[in-house]
A and B are shown apart, each in its own frame.
Chain A
Amino acid sequence: MVEKRSQTPSATRRGLVRGAGLVTAGSLVSAFPMPAIAQVTKSPIRIGCLNVYNKAGGIYGQAIFEGLQLYLDQVGGKIAGRSVELLREDDEFNPQVALQKARKLVESEKIQILAGPLGSHIAAAIAAYMKKAGTPWIVTGAGSTELTKGRLPHMFRATFSNWQVASTMGAWAAANLKREAAVIASDYLAGHDIADAFRDSFVKGGGKVVKEIFTPPGTNDFSAYISDLVTSPPPMTYVFYSGSDAIRFVKQYDQFGLKAKSDLIGFQSTLDADTFSGQGDSALGAISSSIYCETLDTPENKAYVDLFREKKKSYPGVFDESGYTAMRIIDDAAKLIDGNVEDDAAFAAALAKTNIKAPRGPVSFDQVTHQAIQNVYIRKVEKVDGVLRNEPIATVANVGDYPPNKA
């Protein structure tokens, strides 16, 4: 009882002090009105980086984040004269967690733009919320063909769509490689998306898919599937894997002698700069399609690769470049509106006007679906000075979004 009584007056005292403070502050503001714009311009631009940074996929989330950071460092940490804060949140590849983190970034952290995520299921989980919030959103990884069908007014996919990359390969392979192929892919959303896109355009080009195999993500041992293919090898095998699956499959494909019998072709993540260290010579000679190729002979790409290699020994992969270019796009759009990124609608309108020469080549957005329109490169794994790299062997220029998404 005694303690309780002694607390009451002190609380009141504190309340009094606070009240007095407010009065003082209020009178100050009214006495010296500050121009609102000036205040806004000085505060940093806050960019939410929602991605998976651990577990499977973590290396790609990390690559995207480092890409954003690399561009930011290159321009001295400022965008349109304002400093920038990157607020990193791990979505743990879990839609529930992602939605909470997206809310936190938008509502508590007051971000002006969201960059992320890698997972298509994550993008789908936060899409409805992001639409309601109206905060501009740059998609840096999630490739699902469906995603841009929703036509979110403030969402821009600054990277590949699965359809873009896989269907380009299907058409090119039917015209330039063999006419029969087996398809083997990871058994989740992206795997089916990519297999469908490849098959449709391959068949349209006169090709025939002789076998389709879907394998559980995180498969340790592919020998059962590979032995199945070895018994009657298809002329070529189209493959979609990423991360550790990509390493294991490509190595085991070679170990079983299948590479000599059936040409290995695939989706970008299967044969990318970040998988070569694990795949070694097993990847040599394989052909893949991608929105990026580390050996593109353009001034933009050479400058980027030099910059990247100052920090790392390896070459940049698709996700490294995606992060870098996403920040470039944000920078350009923010400049266009004099750094006034608090205005969601104006910021989104500026993003829609993107027209840049990125390391990957020209990038602009489809005005209906906001999918990046960009080149797709056909690449071949070669060994130069003892280092494995993708070399471009063909370019399909300015590939847009999946046509039905625009209809």
Chain B
Amino acid sequence: MDLFLTQLLNGLVYSVLLFLVSAGLALIFGLLGIVNLAHGSFFMLGGFVALSVTAATGSFWLAMLLAPIPVMAVAGLIEVVFLRRLYARSQLDQVLLTFGLSFILTDVTETIWGKGLSSLQEPQGLREGVSILGNVFPAYRLALLAFGFICAFAIWLVLERTRAGSMVRAGVDDARTAMGIGLNVPALRTATFAIGGGLAALAGVVAGPLLGVFSGIDVEVLIPAFIVVAIGGLGSLRGALIGSLVIGFADTLGKAYIPGVSMFLIYFAMIGILLVRPYGLFGQDPAGG
């Protein structure tokens, strides 16, 4: 049996997980220009809401369906009440605000669900291993892989092939002109921020059986997600996908074959790519270069 192929599969699964977290982050930056440091909190909240839903109903699928809803509401509220006032101000102000919000959301989470360590149970039917390449591979990870690609395709489809998607793209490209031709850009921003938060929450649910659900996971997922977005290019969804693959493979193969430097490998990858392409693989120089 080929260990290398298994490791590639592991890398692919981890990439999908990273993509699910970073897609919302990239989307939000693209349209709102906001570096959202509270993104990890949305991920964490999604996991905790799912924990409550599964505790009450026993259904993982229901948790996947329901958990993003309250998180989208929270995100939407944050956009309307706080972020809206800051678009005209410096990026530092926005970063400080979302950073502060992440602390508040952590406190809220700990007040409601406590500080303990929990995790979600895989749905029935995906708990067993599947035999591939002569070895057992967890069925849940394969399902996650499929789900990740479906999500990527769905997001692409919405952005590229629907009216709502073209409105968002118009807002990204030139908000002023978009408003000029009658698009309601503020509403578009609220919706995008809410959907980005909902995506993070969904990622928090599906990652629950692998990564667990606990206070502190917000920071743990935010860091790799930012690396992904930095590599891919801030605001680019395609960049987030490619960035996830780069980091997912670098991390997994690094752990497998050069464990001594695995802790730093993803940072080396980031530095290497940013040296060659300072705005990321698919990012654009804001100065128009």
* B79 contacts partner chain A, Cβ-Cβ < 8 Å: no
24 contacts between A and B (CB under 8 A): A58-B216, A59-B117, A187-B263, A214-B259, A215-B259, A216-B262, A216-B263, A220-B211, A221-B252, A223-B13, A224-B253, A225-B255, A227-B256, A231-B1, A231-B6, A243-B117, A244-B212, A246-B117, A248-B210, A248-B212, A255-B210, A277-B116, A278-B116, A279-B119
Q: Are B115 and A59 in contact (CB under 8 A)?
A: yes
Q: Mark A192-229, 1 if CB is under 8 A from B, else 0.
A: 00000000000000000000011110111101110110
* B7 contacts partner chain A, Cβ-Cβ < 8 Å: yes
Contacts of B226 in A (CB 8 A): none
| Contact status of A278 and B214, CB under 8 A, knowing A213-B259, A247-B119 | yes
Q: Are B141 and A255 in contact (CB under 8 A)?
A: yes
- A243: nearest residue on chain B (CB-CB)? B117
Q: Mark B82-119, 1 if CB is under 8 A from A, else 0.
A: 00000000000000000000000000000000011111
Residue of B6, B10, B255 contacting most chain A CB atoms (<10 Å) = B255
Contacts of B259 in A (CB 8 A): 213-215, 225
Partner of B117, one of A216, A256, A274: A274
Interface residues of A (CB under 8 A from B): 55-56, 58-59, 62, 187, 213-216, 218-221, 223-225, 227-228, 230-231, 243-244, 246-248, 251-252, 255-257, 274-275, 277-280, 314
Partner of B10, one of A224, A246, A274, A314: A224
Contacts of A280 in B (CB 8 A): 119, 121
Residue of A215, A251, A255, A277 contacting most chain B CB atoms (<10 Å) = A255
Report the minimal beta-carbon distance from A70 to chain B, rounded to whole angstroms.
Answer: 16
* B69 contacts partner chain A, Cβ-Cβ < 8 Å: no
Report the minimal beta-carbon distance from A385 to chain B, rounded to whole angstroms.
Answer: 18
Question: In the assembly, what is the distance between CA of A231 and CA of B3, in Å?
Answer: 7
Give the interface size class of chain B: 35 or more
Within 8 A of A (CB), among B1-30: 1, 3, 6-7, 10-11, 13-14, 17
| Contact status of A275 and B117, CB under 8 A, knowing A230-B135, A230-B136 | yes
Contacts of A214 in B (CB 8 A): 259
Report the minimal beta-carbon distance from A189 to chain B, rounded to whole angstroms.
Answer: 15
Stretch at the interface among B147-155, B188-196, B217-225, B281-289: B217-225
- B263: nearest residue on chain A (CB-CB)? A216
- B212: nearest residue on chain A (CB-CB)? A247
Report the minimal beta-carbon distance from B138 to chain A, rounded to whole angstroms.
Answer: 4
Report the minimal beta-carbon distance from B126 to chain A, rounded to whole angstroms.
Answer: 10
Residue of B11, B209, B212, B224 contacting most chain A CB atoms (<10 Å) = B212
Q: Are A251 and B212 in contact (CB under 8 A)?
A: yes
Q: Are A278 and B137 in contact (CB under 8 A)?
A: no
Partner of B140, one of A255, A275, A279: A255
Question: In the assembly, what is the distance between CA of A59 and CA of B214, in Å?
Answer: 10
Question: In the assembly, what is the distance between CA of A230 and CA of B134, in Å?
Answer: 11
Contacts of A248 in B (CB 8 A): 210-212
Contacts of A62 in B (CB 8 A): 115
Report the minimal beta-carbon distance from B16 to chain A, rounded to whole angstroms.
Answer: 11
Q: Are B138 and A256 in contact (CB under 8 A)?
A: yes
Contacts of A314 in B (CB 8 A): 116
Contacts of A187 in B (CB 8 A): 263
Question: In the assembly, what is the distance between CA of A314 and CA of B259, in Å?
Answer: 37
* B272 contacts partner chain A, Cβ-Cβ < 8 Å: no
Report the minimal beta-carbon distance from A270 to chain B, rounded to whole angstroms.
Answer: 12
- B207: nearest residue on chain A (CB-CB)? A220
Question: In the assembly, what is the distance between CA of A279 and CA of B118, in Å?
Answer: 7
Q: Are A227 and B7 in contact (CB under 8 A)?
A: yes
Partner of B6, one of A213, A227, A274: A227
- B136: nearest residue on chain A (CB-CB)? A257
Report the minimal beta-carbon distance from A233 to chain B, rounded to whole angstroms.
Answer: 11
Contacts of B3 in A (CB 8 A): 227-228, 231
Q: Are B116 and A59 in contact (CB under 8 A)?
A: yes
Question: In the assembly, what is the distance between CA of A244 and CA of B253, in Å?
Answer: 22
Contacts of B224 in A (CB 8 A): 220
Q: Are B216 and A55 in contact (CB under 8 A)?
A: yes
- 17 additional contacts (CB under 8 A) given A221-B210, A223-B14: A58-B115, A59-B117, A215-B255, A220-B14, A220-B221, A221-B13, A223-B10, A228-B3, A230-B6, A231-B135, A244-B220, A246-B117, A255-B210, A257-B138, A277-B117, A278-B116, A278-B119
| Contact status of A224 and B136, CB under 8 A, knowing A255-B129, A280-B119 | no
Question: In the assembly, what is the distance between CA of A251 and CA of B118, in Å?
Answer: 11
Residue of A62, A221, A279, A314 contacting most chain B CB atoms (<10 Å) = A221
- A280: nearest residue on chain B (CB-CB)? B121
Contacts of A228 in B (CB 8 A): 3, 256
Question: In the assembly, what is the distance between CA of A59 and CA of B263, in Å?
Answer: 24
Contacts of B116 in A (CB 8 A): 59, 274, 277-278, 314
Question: In the assembly, what is the distance between CA of A248 and CA of B138, in Å?
Answer: 14
Report the minimal beta-carbon distance from B143 to chain A, rounded to whole angstroms.
Answer: 12
Question: In the assembly, what is the distance between CA of A218 and CA of B115, in Å?
Answer: 17
Question: In the assembly, what is the distance between CA of A224 and CA of B217, in Å?
Answer: 20
Report the minimal beta-carbon distance from B188 to chain A, rounded to whole angstroms.
Answer: 33
Contacts of B129 in A (CB 8 A): 255-257
Q: Are B263 and A251 in contact (CB under 8 A)?
A: no
| Contact status of A220 and B117, CB under 8 A, knowing A227-B256, A255-B141 | no
Contacts of A277 in B (CB 8 A): 116-118
Q: Are B119 and A256 in contact (CB under 8 A)?
A: no
| Contact status of A221 and B251, CB under 8 A, knowing A231-B135, A244-B214 | yes
Q: Are B262 and A251 in contact (CB under 8 A)?
A: no
Report the minimal beta-carbon distance from B110 to chain A, rounded to whole angstroms.
Answer: 10
Partner of B136, one of A216, A244, A247, A256: A256
